[in-house]
Amino acid sequence: MAITSERWIDPGRLQAQIDDLAEFGARGETGVARLVYAPEWVAAQNQIAAWMTEAGLRVERDTVGNVWGYLDGRQSGEPLVVSGSHIDSQNPGGRFDGALGVLAAINALAALRERHGQPERTLAALSLVEEEASRFSTANFWGSRAIIGRIGAEEPKRLRGYDGVTMAEAMRDAGLDPNRIPEAKRDDIGVFIELHIEQGPYLEQADLPVGIVERVTGYRQYLVTLEGEANHAGTTPMDLRRDPMAGAAEIISGVVNTAHRMGRPAVTTIGRIHAQPNERAVIPRQVSFTVDARSPLPGQRERLLARHEALIREVADRRDLTLSLRVDSDRRPVLADPVLVEIIAEAASEAGVPAMRMTSGAVHDSMQLAEIARMAMIFVRSRGGISHSPEEFTSTEDAADGTEVLARALYRLGYA
Amino acid sequence: MAITSERWIDPGRLQAQIDDLAEFGARGETGVARLVYAPEWVAAQNQIAAWMTEAGLRVERDTVGNVWGYLDGRQSGEPLVVSGSHIDSQNPGGRFDGALGVLAAINALAALRERHGQPERTLAALSLVEEEASRFSTANFWGSRAIIGRIGAEEPKRLRGYDGVTMAEAMRDAGLDPNRIPEAKRDDIGVFIELHIEQGPYLEQADLPVGIVERVTGYRQYLVTLEGEANHAGTTPMDLRRDPMAGAAEIISGVVNTAHRMGRPAVTTIGRIHAQPNERAVIPRQVSFTVDARSPLPGQRERLLARHEALIREVADRRDLTLSLRVDSDRRPVLADPVLVEIIAEAASEAGVPAMRMTSGAVHDSMQLAEIARMAMIFVRSRGGISHSPEEFTSTEDAADGTEVLARALYRLGYA
């Protein structure tokens, strides 16, 4: 609900590009399946490059396929001010996750150029190749990892997609040379601002179009394996069982309750579970499940993890189950740059876009780029908090509000 | 621990046959993988027929491959007194489950013939073809179901084994004509006594070699499916989730605790569980799991089931999850014939074999044959209560004790 006399962003042009881009890999009415390096992805990335050129930006492609659109500044040699996101999607996902951030950056730079001409510092719109891991299960952040130099030398040959094709083959199919990945690494980025749909319900609940991300969640992901004794379901008395399913149920209930009682923004999820032998009439020998625990507040995250680990060990011990507790990934919360957060807040205020400061429970390319640049994020309201689904929806007005804030923040960074 | 001056059963001959039979389909040191109608099964059933002949029994094979060894009585036309079990195994299983009951019957009849000559009523040893469902997932009780006329006309063509072969093809491979299955049906069986390893720890705990089964457990098997809302594991606050995994964990803990508190012999097992989409960072949309609840006491079984169903409905309702509660199988407890139980108890007493009356938590061929005959079972102690495993072990002494009791019970039924 913007209250300003004059807007820099044209909502119609932005919405038309959202709709046009959704044609590449369209699935059904509103779905998109645009997997990295697939033909529809190549066509979409070409369309992005064309829109950048149309916006008066100087287009470059790097060696992994990221597309950069520069609005060159008067001062050369200054660190770049970059905004963007990714154009690949879940399989299928929706029209907004990733794509909106790329189009917002292009539309913001187009508006700045039209309205204010050449900036002092070089601004860039960035269309990253891959974030979703929807074709290669462990490829995620392929584009941003290439930029920060975090792609392993063996990954192109080792990663194999759900379609059986290796990453190296997929890159060659898209006209790229996997041996040249290291050339995509950069050290000239000063600022990275990512606009993204929220992927959660907080903005909708607050009835606000825009959020300013102050911190991105930290998490730890465990694989818990409990081993007991397989036995006949009919003949083994309850008091003599070492039943890992009963132990798993107690742990799952416990960790979910712990996170719930700790209160927002702590969350804990059990997404995967497997029993062995997984037979109806056999007490399982082994049950394994994942625990994904997150909080953007460093102290809360540590408390949450400590309580989870204590509970898991206590239950396994009391039930005489053999425990394997494996940490599969662990990431501390990442803070957005406080100066950037203030600049974005001032930009929102100037644009008359009501916004709140918030935390991100999801992980984004910006967390990778935070390793080499000052980082911030702008969230845009997403209906029902739904993402990774054809049901994703963000209104034209909200998308334009977010882009307006982005444009005015980039103005402060590039023209002042 | 038998305390009697004179035993009818030769433990050495019984043990030698146990060892010899275990060679058919041997896996490793003590394992057996003898799947119905496979070549090693055919060879084993031929060996059984040879031992029956050696014991002086008149051998017949029926149209599904059950082998019958008759010790004909003076009075023709009287209902048969039959004892036996099955010779197929789990894949792999051990040397005793099923096999011991067949060999006990042959050795008992051999001892009766040698010691007492022709009986008044015809006695028979029976080697059933199939009980384990280890080759065809829903074939179980193939031999006993044929005898009571409960094999569906479409089953031979419909049932397909884990090896891809249909039941009809498997029967033809073993020289049998699936069209002649109905001819295996009988109505001349008066008594069926099955000797079987316990498959549970009660006898070992009581330090007794033999149990007399008074009743066989009743059970109900459910498939519980809970549907909630899939969502992002990082961005969806705990208080807004409709998480079927949390509901499943609460139900699993609850039903296990209910059975435990109700006390022996009630048991409840969750053996299978599946989550969808089963992704680490996604709150599941759906979790389904089996509930297998048993009690041999009719009143306890009804109470157990009522409490389980109330809990399942309450949790689903309170957590706003969509519930599907499917009953996959349901069987009331089966009582052994009380007169037969007394006869077996007297036989044990006479043989000096300490025995206790007990219930069976597992399901056996005898439950099928109970539909057409008076039924009883003799259990023999099994080390650790282990079955369906190469680890199965019953001592020579315990096997001979059980067979001694069987022989003396059959004497009372056939010669009195």
Residue B2 domain flag: no
Mean pLDDT of A67-83: 96
Per-residue pLDDT for B185 more than 80? yes
CA dihedral A266, A272, A273, A276 (to 10 degrees): -150
Mean pLDDT of B56-77: 97
Mention every residue, 6+ apart, whose C-beta is less than 8 A from residue B258: B268, B304, B307, B308, B311
CA–CA min distance A212, chain B (Å): 15
CATH number, domain containing residue A241 = 3.30.70.360
Question: Which of A310, A331, A352 represents a domain boundary (last residue)?
Answer: A331
Residue B253 domain flag: yes
CA dihedral A193, A199, A200, A202 (to 10 degrees): 40
Rounded CA gap, B176 and B153, in Å?
A: 16
Same domain for B343 and B318: no
**B258-288 residue pLDDT tens:** 999 999 999 999 999 999 999 888 899 999 9
pLDDT for position A292: 97
pLDDT for position B279: 86
**A166: amino acid identity, one letter:** T
Cross-chain Cβ contact B267/A243 below 8 Å: no
CA dihedral A294, A298, A300, A302 (to 10 degrees): 80
Same domain for A112 and A67: yes
Per-residue pLDDT for A61 more than 50? yes
CA–CA min distance B243, chain A (Å): 9
Residue of B nearest to A286 (CA): B271
Same domain for B188 and B145: yes
Same domain for B142 and B233: no
Same domain for A122 and A39: yes
Same domain for A200 and A51: yes
pLDDT for position B196: 98
Residue A109 domain flag: yes
Residues of chain A in contact with residue B388, where contact means CB-CB under 8 angstroms, are 232, 282
CB A243 within 8 Å of CB A281: no
Mean pLDDT of A306-335: 96
Closest CA to A22 of A103, A91, A96: A96
Choose the closest CB to B271 out of A239, A278, A385. A278
Residue A299 domain flag: yes
CATH number, domain containing residue B171 = 3.40.630.10
Residue B4 domain flag: no
DSSP-assigned letters across all residues of B253-321 = HHHHHHHHHH-TT-EEE---EEEES--TTEE-SEEEEEEEEEESSHHHHHHHHHHHHHHHHHHHHHTT-
Residues of chain B in contact with residue A248, where contact means CB-CB under 8 angstroms, are 249, 252
Residues of chain B in contact with residue A267, where contact means CB-CB under 8 angstroms, are 233-234, 236-238
pLDDT: which is higher, A138 or B15: B15
Centroid of chain to Cα A305 = 22
pLDDT for position B3: 52
Residues of chain B in contact with residue A386, where contact means CB-CB under 8 angstroms, are 231
Mention every residue, 6+ apart, whose C-beta is less than 8 A from residue B241: B228, B229, B231, B283
Residue A6 domain flag: no
**A337-388 residue pLDDT tens:** 999 999 999 999 999 999 999 999 888 999 999 999 999 999 999 999 888 8
pLDDT for position A327: 94
pLDDT for position B1: 46
Helical pair B99-116 and B396-414, crossing angle rounded to 10 deg:
50
Residue B3 domain flag: no
Per-residue pLDDT for B2 more than 50? no
Same domain for B394 and B295: no
Give the ranges where A149-272 is alpha helix by DSSP (H).
155-158, 167-173, 202-206, 244-262
Q: What residue numbers bound the domain in which B73 lies?
A: 11-216+333-414
Same domain for A132 and A74: yes
CA–CA min distance B111, chain A (Å): 32
Cross-chain Cβ contact B245/A278 below 8 Å: no
Cross-chain Cβ contact B280/A221 below 8 Å: yes
**B231-256 residue pLDDT tens:** 889 989 999 999 999 999 999 999 99
Same domain for A196 and A88: yes
Choose the closest CB to B237 out of A245, A264, A386. A264
Which of B199, B217, B235, B268 is the mutation pick for testing A, counting most A CBs within 10 A?
Answer: B235
Q: Which token pair is A140?
A: 């995620």
Same domain for B254 and B392: no
Residue A191 domain flag: yes
In A159-285, the DSSP E strands lie at 189-197, 210-216, 218-227, 231-232, 267-269, 273-276, 282-283
CA dihedral B317, B321, B322, B325 (to 10 degrees): -70
Same domain for B223 and B365: no
Residues of chain B in contact with residue A272, where contact means CB-CB under 8 angstroms, are 275, 278-280
CA–CA min distance A359, chain B (Å): 9
CB B38 within 8 Å of CB B150: no
- Give pTM, 2 decimals: 0.82
CA–CA min distance A4, chain B (Å): 31
Residues of chain B in contact with residue A250, where contact means CB-CB under 8 angstroms, are 249, 253
Same domain for B201 and B168: yes
Question: Which of A286, A315, A331 represents a domain boundary (last residue)?
Answer: A331
Cross-chain Cβ contact A235/B362 below 8 Å: yes
CA–CA min distance B306, chain A (Å): 19
Number of Cβ atoms within 10 Å of the Cβ of A283? 25
Question: Which of B315, B331, B347 represents a domain boundary (last residue)?
Answer: B331
pLDDT for position A140: 86
pLDDT confidence band for B138 (50 / 70 / 90) = confident
10 Å CB burial of residue B29 (0-12, 13-18, 19+) is exposed
Cross-chain Cβ contact A272/B278 below 8 Å: yes
Domain count of chain A?
A: 2
